[in-house]
């Protein structure tokens, strides 16, 4: 079996299984805990509370203006990375093809040059985020092995993707195999570390928004 | 001696999906630090809000998180020790007002202030509530129902003294009352004028009302200390007293944390919906101004207003004081960040009761001082005695010319005849 066949076959199956079971295990371990009923009379009816939760998912995307001077730069850098990754993931022709094969949906791809530039910016933002993490006193103190493992796990697919697009240091098959394997590593790690925020961010914001809407407080 | 097992049990006793989600979600972005007055003023990363709950988080991961087996087996989350608990004491108590400004910025939607409250449960169980004065006062409150050990008899005498001194009719222990006001021990000790003002306002509304000497002190220092049993005991006595006279409205005094407890937690301790409404006094006054039951004379003058975090950001009662100030014709110069993003005075969350925390409290107060001075108004009103006291003390230390006033005293002084 070639490395590419391994990556596309058993490795992908294992990674998918771990991703699904791991995410299910973690989410159910959180959400199935015994819920304490809030008896206090709510200021807002149930529908408004639900809306409050939904709105908070959107509004927490950007900090309130009063916080901008202190957190604006860090947030902006984080968004450069996230938006860059989004462009590469959903604008690159090979990725759209994979999505089409898996789910049967498709959309026009972006020009390769745009995707390459977005990849470069994403990679640069990732490196700057790491530099910030190891130099900023607060981030340095808060950081755990999870932060650094997660960084490597995200860095590898971006880096191998860039190498793959130029077929630079090895042949297409080898680079593609490494790229797929790096994505599989991400899939395996995702349920266990901070990358799980791809789901928790929605649950957390919703719950906060719902709870604070109950109080009629700002979300 | 620090009891590690009790701390651990205290941490994990009340974890539901809300808290678990919060403990699982942090991405270590550090934004909460930039919203916290103690980090902003000192630059010390230890004061990062989410770091303050680190022991709680580790205990959760070790004992009941979805991957607790791995956390234990691989030692990802170290077990609690007496040393680490002691090292965290100043973070959990001295440097957190539970003001919730960090909860307002967190991009993951973590209610960090709520996590600090939970963390204090464990710390209290371990005997780590700061002894002077927070822990000692909470202990007295738990034993007597009042932070200063005020008995029912003494409270009754005091109410009549205040009534005589302020020329206001006091209703005490009436067998039936539609409105039952509670008091803050800070008002009892320092600002009895606020109690007299509330009595005057209630007389003006004209509904039956009565203080109850069998459940009156809503301060609930136990809540801020982390004493769950004490917290419930205080709450239950007030609920019982209000029910015994058929109250339709329980009125919370000019106090922040007492409102949080009675408005949002009391029903949980009671186990079902309370048979009466719980309103902070500003809400009651605003409602009655809008309905025309309270009529006030215009008192035009320039002033600013300090929001108590537990009433506005954490309690949803941000508009009520502004309705009142508007009705009085006050030329309100809002503070920068007024309302929901307001900075704490520095004394909230029991920090005012921790002697050694004074330098931190002063550092936090400096933000408020600067903001108040920027409005160039001679008076700052508030509707929380804890805030009022912190502003008074801070202002005195800074030789301030700004006056700190009670919103309810302003209303009472300007009731239309």
Chain A positions in Cβ-Cβ contact with residue B105 (cut-off 8 Å):
63-64, 67, 71
Looking at the fold, whether B97 and B216 belong to one and the same domain comes out as no
Q: Indicate the residue of A142, A205, A208 with minimum beta-carbon distance to B48.
A: A142
Q: Residues 94 to 153 of A: which have CB under 8 A from any B CB?
A: 136-144, 147
Q: Indicate the residue of A39, A194, A201 with minimum beta-carbon distance to B28.
A: A194
Give the torsion through C-alpha atoms of B17, B21, B24, B30, to 10 deg.
-150
Q: Looking at the predicted structure, is the pLDDT value of residue A168 above 80?
A: no
Chain A positions in Cβ-Cβ contact with residue B65 (cut-off 8 Å):
29
Q: How many residues in total does chain A contain?
A: 219
Chain A positions in Cβ-Cβ contact with residue B104 (cut-off 8 Å):
64, 218
Shortest distance between the Cα of B107 and any Cα of chain A, in A, equals 5
Beta-ladder partners of B278: B250
Domain boundary among the residues B125, B157, B172 is at B125
Report helix, strand or coil for B277. Answer: strand
Looking at the fold, whether B251 and B206 belong to one and the same domain comes out as yes
Contact B20 A30 (CB under 8 A): yes
Does residue B304 lie in a domain region?
yes
Looking at the fold, whether B88 and B146 belong to one and the same domain comes out as no
Task: Work out the end-to-end distance of chain B between its first and last CA atoms, rounded to an integer number of angstroms.
Answer: 60
Tell me the per-residue pLDDT of B269-324, one tens digit each, with 9 for 90 and over: 999 999 999 999 999 999 999 999 999 999 999 999 999 999 999 999 999 999 99
Say if strands B249-252 and B179-181 run parallel, antiparallel, or are unpaired.
parallel
Looking at the fold, whether B278 and B400 belong to one and the same domain comes out as no
Task: Work out the end-to-end distance of chain A between its first and last CA atoms, rounded to an integer number of angstroms.
Answer: 54
Does residue B131 lie in a domain region?
no
Q: What is the pLDDT of residue A36?
A: 87
% of chain B with per-residue pLDDT over 70: 100
Q: Which residue is it, tokens 């860095």?
A: A155
Domain boundary among the residues B125, B150, B178 is at B125
Phi, psi of A43 (to 5 degrees): -75, -25
The whole-chain average pLDDT of chain B stands at 96
What is the rounded CA–CA span in Å between residue A10 and residue A50?
Answer: 42
- Overall average pLDDT of the B66-71 stretch: 95
Looking at the fold, whether B156 and B21 belong to one and the same domain comes out as no
Q: Of B28, B62, B317, which to mutate for an interface test with A (greatest number of A Cβ within 10 Å)? A: B28
Beta-ladder partners of B302: B331
| Angstrom distances, CA of residue B204 to CA of A88, B169, B325 | 68, 11, 18
Domain boundary among the residues B125, B160, B177 is at B125
Residue B267, classified by CB atoms within 10 Å of its CB into exposed (0-12), middle (13-18) or buried (19+), is: buried
Characterize B13-35 residue by residue with b for buried, 16 or more Cβ atoms within 10 angstroms of its Cβ, and e for exposed: eebebbbbbbbbbbbbbbbbbbb
% of chain B with per-residue pLDDT over 90: 93
Find the residue in A nearest to B343 (Cα): A66
Does residue B133 lie in a domain region?
no
Q: What is the pLDDT of residue B279?
A: 98
Q: Flag whether residue A78 sits within 8 Å of chain B, measured between CB atoms.
A: yes
Q: Flag whether residue A191 sits within 8 Å of chain B, measured between CB atoms.
A: no
Find the residue in A nearest to B261 (Cα): A40
* pLDDT classification of B135: cutoffs 50, 70, 90: confident
Tell me the per-residue pLDDT of B223-267, one tens digit each, with 9 for 90 and over: 999 999 999 999 999 999 999 999 999 999 999 999 999 999 999
Tell me the per-residue pLDDT of A193-210, one tens digit each, with 9 for 90 and over: 999 999 999 999 999 999
Q: Of B14, B25, B280, which to mutate for an interface test with A (greatest number of A Cβ within 10 Å)? A: B25
What is residue B150's DSSP assignment? Answer: -
Q: Residues 19 to 38 of A: which have CB under 8 A from any B CB?
A: 25-26, 28-38
Does residue B161 lie in a domain region?
yes
Give the angle subtended at the CA of A89 by the CAs of A87 and A95, to the nearest 5°. Answer: 130
Does residue B367 lie in a domain region?
yes
Q: Looking at the predicted structure, is the pLDDT value of residue A13 above 80?
A: yes
Does residue B109 lie in a domain region?
yes
Q: What is the pLDDT of residue B370?
A: 96
Find the residue in B nearest to A63 (Cα): B105
Number of domains in chain B: 3
Q: Looking at the predicted structure, is the pLDDT value of residue B62 above 70?
A: yes
The whole-chain average pLDDT of chain A stands at 96
Looking at the fold, whether B381 and B396 belong to one and the same domain comes out as yes
Contact A61 B35 (CB under 8 A): no
Looking at the fold, whether B150 and B233 belong to one and the same domain comes out as yes
Tell me the per-residue pLDDT of B208-231, one tens digit each, with 9 for 90 and over: 999 999 999 999 999 999 999 999
Contact B29 A33 (CB under 8 A): no
pTM of the model: 0.95
Residue range of the domain that includes B178: 138-287
Looking at the fold, whether B143 and B281 belong to one and the same domain comes out as yes
Looking at the fold, whether B167 and B282 belong to one and the same domain comes out as yes
Contact A26 B67 (CB under 8 A): yes
Shortest distance between the Cα of A25 and any Cα of chain B, in A, equals 7
Q: Looking at the predicted structure, is the pLDDT value of residue B350 above 90?
A: yes
| Angstrom distances, CA of residue B146 to CA of A207, B90, B180, B183, B253 | 35, 25, 17, 10, 15
Does residue B168 lie in a domain region?
yes
Looking at the fold, whether B317 and B241 belong to one and the same domain comes out as no
Q: How many other C-beta atoms can be found within 10 angstroms of the C-beta atom of residue B176?
A: 10
For the record, the structure tokens of B148 come out as 């200063």
Sheet holding B379-382, edge to edge: B331-332, B302-306, B379-382, B403-406
Tell me the per-residue pLDDT of B153-175, one tens digit each, with 9 for 90 and over: 999 999 999 999 999 999 999 99
Tell me the per-residue pLDDT of A110-127, one tens digit each, with 9 for 90 and over: 999 999 999 999 999 999
Q: Indicate the residue of A29, A142, A215 with minimum beta-carbon distance to B28.
A: A142
ipTM of the complex: 0.95
* pLDDT classification of B133: cutoffs 50, 70, 90: confident
Q: Of A21, A25, A38, A39, which to mutate for an interface test with B (greatest number of B Cβ within 10 Å)? A: A39
Looking at the fold, whether B225 and B272 belong to one and the same domain comes out as yes
For the record, the structure tokens of A202 come out as 């929605």
Looking at the fold, whether B171 and B281 belong to one and the same domain comes out as yes
Report helix, strand or coil for B7. Answer: helix
Q: For residue B276, is it left (φ>0), alpha (ψ between -120 and 50) or beta? A: beta
* pLDDT classification of A167: cutoffs 50, 70, 90: low
Chain B positions in Cβ-Cβ contact with residue A67 (cut-off 8 Å):
31, 34-35, 105
Tell me the per-residue pLDDT of B374-407, one tens digit each, with 9 for 90 and over: 999 999 999 999 999 999 999 998 899 999 999 9
CATH number of the structural domain spanning residue B361: 3.40.50
What is the rounded CA–CA span in Å between residue A174 and residue B367?
Answer: 59
Find the residue in A nearest to B112 (Cα): A208
Does residue B267 lie in a domain region?
yes
Q: What is the pLDDT of residue B14?
A: 80
Q: Looking at the predicted structure, is the pLDDT value of residue B1 above 80?
A: no
Q: Flag whether residue A40 sits within 8 Å of chain B, measured between CB atoms.
A: yes
């Amino acid at each position: 079996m070639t490395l590419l066949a391994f990556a596309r076959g058993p490795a992908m199956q294992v990674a998918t299984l771990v991703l699904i079971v791991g995410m299910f295990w973690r989410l159910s371990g959180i959400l199935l805990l015994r819920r304490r009923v809030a008896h206090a009379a709510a200021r807002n009816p149930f529908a408004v509370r639900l809306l409050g939760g939904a709105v908070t998912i959107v509004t927490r995307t950007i900090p309130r203006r009063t916080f901008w001077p202190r957190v604006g730069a860090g947030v902006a850098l984080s968004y450069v990375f996230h938006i860059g990754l989004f462009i590469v993931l959903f604008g690159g022709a090979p990725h759209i093809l994979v999505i089409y094969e898996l789910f049967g949906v498709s959309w026009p791809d972006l020009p390769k040059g745009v995707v390459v530039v977005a990849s470069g910016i994403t990679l640069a933002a990732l490196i700057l985020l790491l530099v910030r993490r190891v130099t900023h006193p607060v981030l340095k103190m808060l950081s755990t092995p999870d932060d650094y493992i997660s960084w490597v796990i995200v860095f590898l697919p971006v880096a191998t993707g860039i190498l793959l697009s130029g077929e630079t240091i090895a042949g297409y098959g080898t680079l593609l195999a490494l790229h797929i394997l790096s994505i599989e590593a991400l899939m395996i790690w995702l349920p266990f570390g901070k990358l799980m925020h791809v789901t928790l961010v929605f649950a957390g914001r919703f719950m906060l928004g719902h709870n604070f809407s109950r109080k009629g407080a700002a979300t | 001696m620090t009891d590690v097992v009790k701390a651990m049990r205290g941490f994990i006793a009340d974890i539901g999906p809300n808290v678990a989600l919060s403990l699982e979600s942090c991405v270590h972005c550090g934004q909460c630090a930039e919203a916290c007055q103690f980090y902003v003023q000192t630059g010390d990363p230890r004061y990062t809000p989410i770091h303050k709950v680190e022991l709680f988080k580790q205990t959760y991961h070790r004992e009941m998180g979805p991957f607790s087996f791995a956390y234990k087996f691989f030692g990802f989350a170290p077990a609690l020790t007496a040393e680490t608990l002691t090292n965290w004491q100043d973070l959990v108590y001295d440097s957190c007002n539970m003001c919730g400004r960090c909860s307002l910025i967190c991009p993951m939607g973590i209610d960090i202030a709520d996590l600090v409250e939970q963390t204090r449960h464990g710390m209290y169980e371990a005997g780590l509530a700061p002894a002077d004065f927070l822990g000692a006062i909470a202990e007295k409150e738990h034993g007597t129902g009042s932070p200063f050990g005020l008995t029912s008899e003494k409270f009754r005498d005091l109410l009549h003294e205040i009534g005589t001194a302020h020329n206001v009719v006091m209703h005490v222990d009436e067998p039936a009352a539609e409105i039952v006001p509670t008091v803050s021990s800070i008002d009892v000790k320092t600002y009895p004028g606020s109690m007299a003002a509330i009595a005057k306002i209630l007389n003006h509304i004209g509904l039956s009302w009565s203080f109850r000497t069998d459940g009156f002190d809503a301060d609930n220092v136990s809540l801020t200390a982390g004493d769950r049993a004490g917290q419930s005991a205080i709450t239950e006595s007030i609920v019982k007293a209000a029910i015994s006279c058929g109250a339709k409205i329980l009125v919370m005094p000019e106090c922040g944390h007492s409102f949080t407890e009675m408005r949002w937690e009391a029903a949980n301790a009671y186990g079902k919906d309370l048979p009466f409404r719980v309103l902070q006094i500003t809400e009651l006054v605003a409602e009655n101004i809008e309905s025309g039951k309270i009529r006030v004379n215009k008192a035009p003058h320039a002033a600013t207003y300090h929001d108590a975090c537990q009433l506005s950001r954490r309690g949803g009662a941000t508009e009520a004081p502004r309705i009142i100030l508007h009705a009085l014709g006050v030329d309100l110069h809002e503070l920068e960040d007024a309302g929901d993003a307001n900075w704490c005075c520095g004394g909230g969350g029991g920090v005012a009761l921790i002697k050694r925390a004074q330098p931190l409290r002063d550092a936090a107060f400096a933000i408020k001082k600067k903001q108040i001075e920027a409005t160039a108004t001679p008076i700052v009103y508030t509707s929380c005695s804890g805030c009022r006291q912190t502003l008074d003390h801070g202002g005195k230390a800074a030789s301030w010319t700004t006056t700190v006033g009670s919103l309810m005293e302003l209303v009472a002084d300007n009731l239309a005849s």
